[in-house]
A and B are shown apart, each in its own frame.
Chain A
């Protein structure tokens, strides 16, 4: 009688796909030295790294990745990918020769006061900077600070490559930081009272501070969100969306693709309540991509608006008002009548959605296999990603 080996309840699996050339996937793909290294993975591939460490959060920046692990050791965050601005720390196996490209997960040692007990709960990555949120010691920032996105004073002509600086923001005006988010060159913090703070580049008004200049010190975002209890902020490039506990949507930043207001204002520098999201029900998750936005309500219905491959076929590439993606595309049919989408996310040119039966759907511009569908063709409507 055989007893087949089955792995012991792997709860923490990490799959990677997309461009591998810069090491952003952290998997060793060159098995034979004579062969060409694989430049991109079109389908999700499981990493061994997650078997050895309990990964609690992942953040994808522009060409680099950071993983947060739940451990009592001092290496709680691991990074791999592009390191030209020290966004994943200072790594110099050879003295005075810091690495610009890291191909396998390297530990980032945060200057924690209480190493065994402090836990990393969240990581967020932007174009060239990284934010790490801990449960007791606030936020640690590293990487490029040319616009003040690391929350520290901008130093003229600072050399970011090979820089060991990791800055700590312990609290925001005495309040504990609950969640973090990074846009392209700005950072957003949500504190325990539901207030949003921002710092970094403000050229498109993405800091929401009422001006269009860079600001290094995290300040409260002004506008319609004052007094609201914000539960989530989302930003990938220059547009920022936020939802409060009642499911109302607020936005600020870039609105060149009619993501935010009905009026033709292209940059909005204070938070504004989005009237176009009024009839969509209670919104539970929202994501702002490069030129489009996506929202899902408590009934599991997904709405998209903006410009680009929105997911309603090849013809629809611009929507000024939120339009619903038919739920049949996510698999709601006679055999699965209770199917709902529970979370959404967006990149610069693509979308992702997770359903309540644990399936991942992706669509949009398929840059070098970033959709994980097994090919490099653009996908004009949501398709399930095979994650084995």
Chain B
């Protein structure tokens, strides 16, 4: 165990990728602000650089002058401000995350920004858990909007939902062939298709690779989705469309990202752990993860590789298991 008490040493080590659990209801920019504020607060509590010395020459020049060296007031933290301030850090994310989405959120610090951007350029897949509520439709497709429509949902049962979701999955997987950017009548298209799942050529096209219903207790249901190039509104629309296809209406009540590339919920730091020590641990774990999964080599293939895969969970029998993740 190495204990470091000097802040400048820690400052030099603050470069890497952190994986945190973003709470719902706040924007990514606000999360970044809180995170940097916490880092600065913790850094300033360590042993920071003492104020620079200043030579004081005091006294009456005609009689005797006193010379002494003492910490300068011009360099005192109470005068110039804390030693470490949020503006000193560069922190950004690769994959954007919406305001209402909670879950795995990967940020880079200082030199880690490049790593995070490169990782996102390879378009890894993300797994979301979407919770929906049948019988209500809101104007924002989310539970924070005004309810505009109510419909019956007693006819909706588990098997209907499962069939619908399976057909959505098959349709998206078929669409993937058309979006690959290759002429579908060519040999290249055939070779790509034989490999299985391929990433679209355009980074703006969302594709759902896997959808599965993992919990159904009317009016609530939860679906797990593995997708690429998605955005918050797209996921909310998905829940709404599922409701429409079931001849009812549905609104999304929560979206949780449970996996991004090889970062899962186990690697994500909770709000109470957004402190310096935990962030440093997270950085070292992330670098280990990225090295293990060879993050820098993945751009070579257009297919989904092993790190992109995530076997969708079997239906959860016990409801409590879901609640504890919040």
Among the interface residues B184, B195, B248, B249, which one has the most CB atoms of the partner chain A within 10 A?
A: B184
> Does chain A have a CB within 8 A of B226?
yes
Assess the A335–B210 pair: CB atoms within 8 A.
yes
Pick from B149, B167, B187, B312: contact of A313, CB below 8 A: B187
Assess the A4–B194 pair: CB atoms within 8 A.
no
Assess the A315–B173 pair: CB atoms within 8 A.
no
Assess the B196–A378 pair: CB atoms within 8 A.
no
B53: shortest Cβ distance to chain A, in Å?
64
Interface size class on chain B is: 35 or more
Interface string of A2-26 (1 = CB under 8 A from B): 1111100000000000000000000
Contact status of A331 and B173, CB under 8 A, knowing A313-B187, A313-B190: yes
Residue of B nearest to A384 (CB): B174
Pick from A6, A336, A386: contact of B247, CB below 8 A: A6
Find residues 275-325 in chain B having any chain A CB closer than 8 Å to their own CB.
Answer: 309, 311-312
B197 CB contacts on chain A under 8 angstroms = 333-335
> Does chain A have a CB within 8 A of B263?
no
Among the interface residues A3, A335, A357, A358, which one has the most CB atoms of the partner chain B within 10 A?
A: A335
Interface string of B239-272 (1 = CB under 8 A from A): 0000000011100000000000000000000000
Pick from A5, A315, A377: contact of B187, CB below 8 A: A315
A72: shortest Cβ distance to chain B, in Å?
31
> Does chain A have a CB within 8 A of B170?
yes
Contact status of A331 and B248, CB under 8 A, knowing A6-B155, A315-B187: no
Residue of B nearest to A6 (CB): B247
B313: shortest Cβ distance to chain A, in Å?
12
Assess the A328–B171 pair: CB atoms within 8 A.
no
A381 CB contacts on chain B under 8 angstroms = 189-190, 193-194
In the bound complex, what is the Cα–Cα distance between A331 and B184 (angstroms)? Answer: 16
Assess the A380–B149 pair: CB atoms within 8 A.
no
Assess the A335–B312 pair: CB atoms within 8 A.
yes
Assess the B151–A357 pair: CB atoms within 8 A.
no
Q: A313-B191, A329-B194, A334-B197 are in contact. List 7 more A-B contacts (CB 8 A).
A: A4-B247, A314-B186, A314-B190, A334-B210, A381-B193, A384-B170, A384-B174
* Subset of 7 A-B contacts with CB under 8 Å: A1-B151, A5-B247, A314-B190, A328-B194, A334-B196, A380-B185, A384-B171
